[in-house]
């Protein structure tokens, strides 16, 4: 069956049962509208806020916390013959408040991000001019039906997919669909059947933008049947996968739950095997094991992760990065390949005159402004704006980008194109055509009629008889033409688009392109953003490969890539023709060395992303057009443009840039890397401190057969002290040294690289915590009470006396000084060594950058104040937390006040020990490195310097 683009005009009319002269009747249009539906793209159903909230409660870590909360009620009930008091619900309430707060925080952030995305969408609804019942009328584009006759003119969006049936110099910017940065000329004539969208010259695609001329088209597809509709539907049908952070957190949750269960079982079996055998003793052992298991779980981790991500998303929003999903922040920091669109992201998305050809030489456009060739410059200025339909009014720019570039250049020389056009009225014109590749206008200039012609330099030279050299008009020779063509070829090889200008005085009222005088030419390009060059250099130093994907031709793409410092050889460029010939295996093998993909289709982009993912890369894809949407959805992190981006692209993306700048992506990468490091530092603190708690409680429990701490003590330490510090780490300043490191490739868990730090904190802290407990026990009357009961002689050692504690009844009432001493050490020591965890990435440099974190300092003070309140406020200290109080026999007095100072002194010992260990590790890593390693580093640095110098020379 023939395709629509190959149909003749009459065949199109018959096929769609339309009337090209009068259009559809209102009745027929309404009938088709009811049958086919509105001309609107399908919108993915928005997940209600309450569903997001409920989903937050079933995440693995949250489920574990809720189970821990339930256990916190069951455990004491089992000890007290299943009698439950209000006090037993304290742990449950605290844990559930943490779970609820975290769920609310995640829900609020997700909804806020969604609102930010919605705010970027266009508020105006598109309209269309149609022919119905023989009359032109404007209707909502959503009411268009197949067979409608639509009138198009410059500056309007194409409201549906059209087969053009009439056109006059009609051009469309199809960059959102095909990726081509230059508008394409459309025709109403039949063409050969093709599958390439860029080659369908008689089809106007929905949501593309008309830049010049006018046309009439018949609607052939609407809504989901159009090309943009098909892409939109594919995006909506895609299932959203978990981000790397979500996968790591899920895996981490399973590991923690398994470890907690194993520890609980081991502790219970150990106590049961070595402890008392009386009836009911096993319940006490079960309580200890459950308490230890709960102590392993970092209850505040979910809240820490959410708050850290939320804080980063707010900071990113202020820097033009809107994150639609919290966990996408970390994903952005993990990418090691960025596939980026060219136009608007790496370039300015604005054609700009760079060079000027005059006097048979090439000069810089800025230098030309200062030239004094009065005649030549005056004629060139008129030629820039008179045979030109581009208009700029403030922020509004209408017309072909090439013509707008000429207008902009004229404005740099203080020329107002609108005043010029009023002053020098157009009498006649010869529109641009693809056959002639020229455009001419006849203008009244003072008392003269002058023809101004612009167009392709080779075609223009064919109709020129003279040339302006040094402000004199002389016959043009073959030598002149050869020099001009040579200059043009040199400029074209650098991907500059060359336009030439000529003029002729005439007495006729018609513009004839013959016997013209060559004025000169200009070369223009969509220049690279200067900041993009810096950003790509930063990406390289961060170990991130940047690939440019564009609809432009290979020569243009390579020239831009050279200016960006992205690619220098033809071997680093692959065009769509080569892609079509390659198998997926061949492309996967070659793709690592490719930096530019030119003239690609949407399906090519998806294939490129897939091949990179098959190589094990974490891929970020940037784009703004509908053609980018499938690859945005396919990549681990899709980045859409907020200014030029289509709604479909924004819908498919994970992150939106509100300034369309590649530099902003690198800011997001830096933020993402910092987020991941902050989360890992928080985990180091939480797990290290939890390990210290478990080890110290386990050691003491094995000795005295009861838990030295109450559940409320552990919950306070875990949920207040640890949370304050961990959250503050997440709110700390950015560590820019992370951008000097390569991203970690492959599947890595959250605990990878943290084992040494966690063990260091856990073991060192546990040793001093146990020491603090037994030193505190020296101040209690328990030992002396035991001596009195058992009538022990004074010759027995202190250690032998401690062993007698096992035989005491209601022992937990007699270890209050040891518990208090232990508690003081456990809440004060992390306030100190938490500041060591926030050091900058010490592996990056021999100089350690001490990041002053005000949030961490403030959090330490808050945790200290709360801890002092718990220890010294009556009723709270002794009744709730079972610590030493005031005014009781077990309370503070002149004989035991020294315990306070000894506990504080011991709290400083983990900090000092960990600091000494870090100094030794730092010294061994940087200063004791073997000479062979030093030489290897030096060689690598020299190779990198030589490589940069080589590329800079090639670039010049």
Dump pLDDT digits (tens) for 341-354: 887 778 887 889 99
| Confidence band for 183, pLDDT divided at 50, 70 and 90 | confident
889 and 868, same domain (yes or no): yes
Same domain, 632 and 700: no
pLDDT of 794 over the 70 cut: no
Per-residue pLDDT, 807? 47
Point out the domain boundary residue: 637, 666, 695. Answer: 666
Phi, psi of 695 (to 5 degrees): -60, -45
Give the bridge partners for 455, in sequence order: 438, 500
Cα(169)–Cα(5) distance, integer angstroms: 19
Two tokens, residue 508? 């006729």
In this prediction, residue 932 has a pLDDT band, given cuts at 50, 70 and 90, of: very low
Average pLDDT of the residues in 833-853: 68
Range of lowest pLDDT (10-14, 756-760, 935-939): 935-939
pLDDT of 805 over the 60 cut: no
Average pLDDT over residues 890-903: 85
Radius of gyration of the chain (CA): 38
What whole-number distance in Å separates Cα of residue 560 and Cα of residue 342? 9
pLDDT at 163: 94
Asked whether residue 520 falls in the same domain as residue 538, the answer is no
Tell me the pairing of strands 619-623 and 337-341: parallel
394: left (phi over 0), alpha (psi -120 to 50) or beta: left
Residue 117: inside a domain: no
Closest to 243 in 3D by CA, of 679, 540, 619, 623? 619
Whose CA is closest to 378, among 503, 463, 514, 474? 503
Q: In the predicted model, is pLDDT for residue 787 greater than 90?
A: no
Q: Examine the domain organization and report whether 684 and 634 are in the same domain.
A: no
Catalytic: which of 88, 173, 341, 563? Answer: 341
In the structure, what pLDDT confidence band is assigned to residue 109 with cuts at 50, 70 and 90?
low
DSSP tally for the chain: helices H, then strands E: 34, 26
Range of the domain at 506: 358-525
In tens, the pLDDT along 491-522 reads 988 878 899 999 999 998 888 899 999 999 99
Strands (E), 234-282: none
Same structural domain, 340 and 366: no
Give the pLDDT score at 72.
Answer: 67
Distance CA 717, CA 705 (A): 22
pLDDT of 356 above 90: yes
Q: Is residue 443 part of a domain?
A: yes
What pLDDT does 281 receive?
A: 62
pLDDT at 80: 67
Report the domain count for the chain.
3
- Together in a domain, 706 and 613: no
Q: Distance between CA 503 and CA 146 in Å, rounded? A: 47
Residue 423 — pLDDT band, cuts 50, 70, 90?
very high
pLDDT for residue 237: 57
Give the whole-angstrom CA distance, residue 263 versus residue 109.
36
Helix axes 244-274, 281-296, angle to 10 degrees: 160
Residues 75, 278: Cα–Cα separation, whole Å = 19
What is the predicted pLDDT for the residue at 683?
85
User: What's the CA dihedral at 440, 445, 447, 453 to 10 degrees?
Assistant: -20
> Averaged over 418-424, what is the pLDDT?
90
Terminal alpha carbon distance of the chain: 54
pLDDT of residue 269: 81
Tokens for 711?
Answer: 């559940």
- Residues found in the chain: 956
Is the predicted pLDDT of residue 86 greater than 60, yes or no?
yes
Give the model's pLDDT for residue 715.
Answer: 73
Predicted structure pTM score: 0.69
Question: Does the active-site annotation cover 389?
Answer: no
Task: Describe the crossing of helices 755-777 and 662-704 by its angle, rounded to 10 degrees.
Answer: 40
Question: For 933-947, what is the mean pLDDT?
Answer: 62
SS3 content of the chain, % helix, strand, coil (to 5): 55, 15, 30
* Best mean pLDDT range from 95-104, 473-482, 885-894: 473-482
The better pLDDT of the pair 898, 799 is held by 898
Given a contact cutoff of 8 angstroms between Cβ atoms, the answer to whether 246 and 654 are in contact is: no
Location of structure tokens 């704006």:
385
What pLDDT, on a 0 to 100 scale, did the predictor assign at position 769?
93
- What was the pLDDT predicted at 737? 79
In this structure, is residue 936 part of a structural domain? no
Q: Which of 497-511, 559-573, 648-662 has the lowest mean pLDDT?
A: 648-662
Look at residues 898, 913, 928 and tell me which one is the last residue of a structural domain: 913
Q: In the listed set 666, 697, 719, which residue is the last one of a domain according to the structure?
A: 666
Q: Residues 661, 576: one domain?
A: yes
pLDDT tens-digit series, residues 272-313: 776 655 555 666 676 667 667 767 777 677 777 777 877 888
In a domain, 64, yes or no: no
Residues 521, 540: one domain? no
Q: Is pLDDT above 90 for 460?
A: yes
Rounded mean pLDDT of 819-824?
91
Alpha helices in 207-358 (DSSP H): 227-237, 244-274, 281-296, 301-318, 328-334
pLDDT band at 407 (very low <50, low <70, confident <90, very high): very high
Residue 442 scores a pLDDT above 90: yes
Cα separation, 338 vs 294, whole angstroms = 42
Tell me 48's DSSP state: P
- Whole-number pLDDT of residue 515: 93
Residue 832 has pLDDT above 70, yes or no: yes
Question: What pLDDT shows up at residue 828?
Answer: 92
The residue that leads in pLDDT, 934 or 488, is: 488
Average pLDDT over residues 788-807: 48
Percent of the chain with pLDDT over 90: 22
pLDDT band at 951 (very low <50, low <70, confident <90, very high): low
> Measuring CA to CA, which residue among 596, 553, 592 is closest to residue 574?
596
Q: Looking at the structure, tell me whether residues 512 and 538 fall in a common domain.
A: no
Q: Is the pLDDT of residue 112 over 80?
A: no
Token reading at 47: 């997940």
pLDDT computed for residue 169 by the predictor: 81
> Position of tokens 């740099």?
412
| pLDDT tens figures, 897-907 | 898 999 999 99
pLDDT at site 937: 61
Q: Which residue has the higher pLDDT, 282 or 686?
A: 686
The better pLDDT of the pair 880, 847 is held by 880
Q: What is the pLDDT of residue 274?
A: 67
pLDDT category at 596 given cuts 50, 70, 90 is very high
Does 817 share its domain with 893? yes
**Are the C-beta atoms of residues 159 and 138 closer than 8 Å to each other?**
no
Residue 288 falls within a domain, yes or no?
yes
> Does residue 364 have a pLDDT over 60?
yes
Residues 6+ apart with CB under 8 A from 786: 792, 801, 804, 805, 807, 808
Nearest to 326 by CA among 623, 654, 649: 654
DSSP 506-519: ESSSS---SSEEEE
- Asked if 401 and 350 touch (Cβ cutoff 8 Å), the reply is yes
In a domain, 683, yes or no: yes
Confidence of residue 792 (pLDDT cuts 50, 70, 90): very low
Non-local (6+) Cβ contacts of 873 within 8 A are: none
Residue 287 lies in a domain: yes
Q: 720 and 849: one domain?
A: yes
**Cβ within 8 Å of residue 684, ≥6 positions away:** 754, 757, 758, 761, 837
| Helix, strand, or coil (residue 4) | helix
Residue 810 pLDDT: 45
603: CATH: 3.40.50.1000
CATH of the domain at 851: 1.20.1110.10
Report residue 931's pLDDT band, with 50, 70 and 90 as the boundaries. very low
CATH of the domain at 497: 3.40.1110.10
My answer on whether 337 and 435 are in the same domain is no
Is the confidence at residue 788, as pLDDT, over 60?
no
Q: Return the number of other C-beta atoms located less than 10 Å from residue 539's C-beta.
A: 23
Residues 280, 284, 286: CA angle, nearest 5 degrees: 105
User: Does the pLDDT of residue 782 top 60, yes or no?
Assistant: no
3-state secondary structure of 703: helix
Neighbour-count burial of 279, counting CB atoms closer than 10 A to its CB (0-12 exposed, 13-18 middle, 19+ buried)? exposed
The overall average pLDDT reported for the chain is 81
Q: What is the pLDDT of residues 202-234, one digit of tens each?
A: 999 988 888 878 899 999 998 888 887 777 666
Q: What is the pLDDT of residues 316-347, one digit of tens each?
A: 888 888 887 777 787 888 898 999 888 777 88
Whether 372 shows a pLDDT value over 50: the answer reads yes
Residue 405 C-alpha from the chain's centroid: 32
Share of the chain above pLDDT 70, in %: 80
242 within a domain of the structure (yes/no): no
Residue whose C-alpha is closest to residue 590's, from 603, 602, 578, 604: 578
* Distant-in-sequence, close-in-space partners of 739: CB < 8 Å, separation ≥ 6: 538, 541, 542, 666, 669, 670, 673
């Amino acid at each position: 069956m023939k395709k629509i683009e190959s149909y003749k005009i009459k065949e199109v009319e018959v096929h769609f049962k339309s009337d090209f002269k009068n259009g559809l009747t209102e009745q027929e249009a309404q009938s088709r509208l009811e049958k086919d539906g509105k001309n609107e793209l399908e919108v993915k159903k928005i997940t209600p806020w309450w569903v997001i909230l409920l989903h937050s409660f079933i995440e693995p870590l949250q489920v574990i916390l809720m189970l821990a909360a339930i256990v916190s009620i069951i455990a004491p009930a089992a000890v007290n013959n299943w009698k439950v008091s209000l006090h037993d619900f304290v742990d449950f309430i605290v844990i559930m408040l943490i779970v609820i707060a975290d769920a609310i925080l995640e829900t609020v952030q997700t909804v806020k991000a969604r609102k930010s995305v919605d705010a970027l969408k266009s508020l105006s609804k598109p309209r269309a001019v149609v022919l119905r019942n023989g009359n032109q009328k404007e209707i909502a584009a959503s009411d268009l039906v197949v067979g409608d006759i639509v009138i198009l003119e410059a500056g309007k969006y194409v409201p549906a997919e059209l087969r053009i049936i009439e056109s006059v110099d009609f051009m469309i910017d199809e960059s959102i669909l095909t990726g081509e940065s230059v508008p394409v000329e459309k025709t109403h004539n039949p063409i050969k059947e093709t599958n390439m969208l860029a080659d369908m010259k008689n089809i106007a695609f929905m949501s593309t933008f008309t830049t010049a001329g006018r046309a009439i088209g018949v609607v052939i597809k609407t809504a989901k049947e159009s090309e943009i509709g098909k892409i939109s539907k594919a995006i909506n049908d895609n299932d959203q996968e978990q981000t790397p952070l979500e996968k790591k957190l899920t895996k981490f949750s399973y590991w923690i739950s398994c470890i907690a269960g194993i520890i609980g079982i081991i502790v219970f079996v150990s106590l049961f095997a070595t402890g008392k055998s009386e009836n009911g003793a096993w319940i006490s052992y079960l309580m200890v094991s459950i308490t230890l298991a709960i102590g392993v779980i970092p209850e505040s981790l979910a809240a820490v992760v959410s708050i850290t991500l939320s804080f980063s998303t707010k900071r990113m929003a202020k820097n033009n990065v809107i994150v639609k999903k919290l966990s996408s922040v970390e994903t952005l920091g993990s990418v090691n390949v960025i596939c980026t669109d060219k136009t608007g992201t790496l370039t300015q998305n604005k054609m700009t005159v760079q060079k000027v050809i005059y006097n048979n030489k090439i000069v810089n456009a800025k230098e030309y402004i200062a030239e004094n060739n009065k005649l030549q410059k005056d004629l060139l200025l008129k030629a820039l704006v008179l045979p030109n339909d581009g208009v700029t009014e403030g922020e509004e720019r209408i017309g072909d980008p090439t013509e707008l570039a000429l207008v902009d250049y004229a404005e740099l020389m203080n020329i107002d194109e609108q005043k010029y056009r009023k002053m020098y009225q157009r009498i006649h014109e010869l529109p641009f055509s693809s056959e002639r590749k020229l455009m001419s206008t006849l203008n009244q200039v003072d008392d003269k009629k002058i023809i101004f012609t612009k167009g392709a330099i080779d075609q223009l030279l064919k109709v020129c008889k003279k040339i302006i050299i040094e402000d004199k008009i002389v016959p043009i020779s073959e030598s002149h033409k050869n020099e001009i063509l040579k200059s043009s070829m040199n400029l074209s090889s650098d991907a500059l688009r060359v336009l030439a200008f000529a003029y002729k005085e005439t007495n006729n009222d018609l513009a004839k392109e013959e016997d013209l005088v060559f004025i000169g030419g200009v070369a223009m390009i969509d220049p690279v953003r200067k900041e993009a060059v810096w950003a790509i250099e930063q990406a390289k130093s961060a170990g991130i490969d940047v690939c440019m994907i564009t609809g432009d031709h290979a020569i243009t793409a390579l020239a831009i890539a050279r200016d960006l410092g992205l690619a220098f050889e033809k071997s680093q460029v692959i065009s769509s023709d080569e892609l079509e010939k390659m198998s997926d295996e061949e492309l996967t093998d070659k793709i690592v060395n490719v930096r530019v993909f030119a003239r690609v289709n949407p399906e090519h982009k998806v294939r490129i992303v897939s091949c990179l993912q098959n190589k094990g890369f974490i891929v970020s894809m940037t784009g703004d057009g509908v053609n980018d949407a499938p690859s945005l959805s396919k990549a681990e992190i899709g980045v859409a443009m907020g200014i030029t981006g289509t709604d479909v692209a924004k819908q498919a993306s994970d992150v939106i840039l509100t300034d369309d700048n590649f530099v902003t992506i690198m800011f997001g990468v830096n933020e993402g890397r910092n987020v991941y490091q902050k989360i890992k530092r928080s985990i180091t603190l939480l797990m290290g401190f939890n390990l210290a708690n478990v080890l110290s409680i386990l050691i003491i429990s094995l000795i005295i057969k009861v838990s030295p701490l109450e559940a409320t003590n552990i919950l306070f330490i875990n949920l207040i002290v640890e949370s304050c510090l961990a959250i503050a780490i997440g709110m700390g300043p950015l560590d820019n040294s992370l951008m000097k490191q390569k991203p970690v490739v492959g599947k890595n868990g959250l605990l990878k690289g943290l084992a040494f730090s966690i063990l260091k904190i856990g073991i060192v802290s546990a040793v001093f915590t146990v020491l603090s407990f037994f030193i505190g026990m020296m101040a209690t009357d328990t030992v002396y009470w035991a001596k009195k009961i058992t009538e022990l002689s004074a010759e027995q050692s202190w250690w032998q006396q401690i062993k007698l504690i096992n035989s005491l009844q209601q022992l937990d009432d007699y270890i209050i000084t040891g518990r208090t001493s232990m508690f003081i050490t456990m809440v004060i020591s992390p306030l100190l060594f938490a500041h060591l965890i926030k050091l900058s990435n010490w592996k990056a440099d021999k100089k350690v950058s001490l990041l002053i974190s005000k949030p961490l300092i403030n959090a330490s003070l808050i945790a200290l104040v709360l801890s002092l309140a718990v220890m010294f406020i009556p009723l709270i200290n002794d009744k709730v937390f079972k610590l030493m109080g005031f005014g009781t026999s077990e309370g503070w007095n002149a004989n035991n006040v020294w315990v306070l100072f000894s506990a504080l002194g011991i709290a400083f010992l983990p900090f000092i020990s960990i600091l000494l260990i870090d100094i030794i590790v730092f010294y061994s890593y940087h200063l004791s490195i073997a000479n062979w390693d030093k030489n290897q580093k030096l060689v690598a640095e020299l190779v990198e310097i030589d490589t940069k110098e080589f590329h800079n020379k090639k670039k010049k």
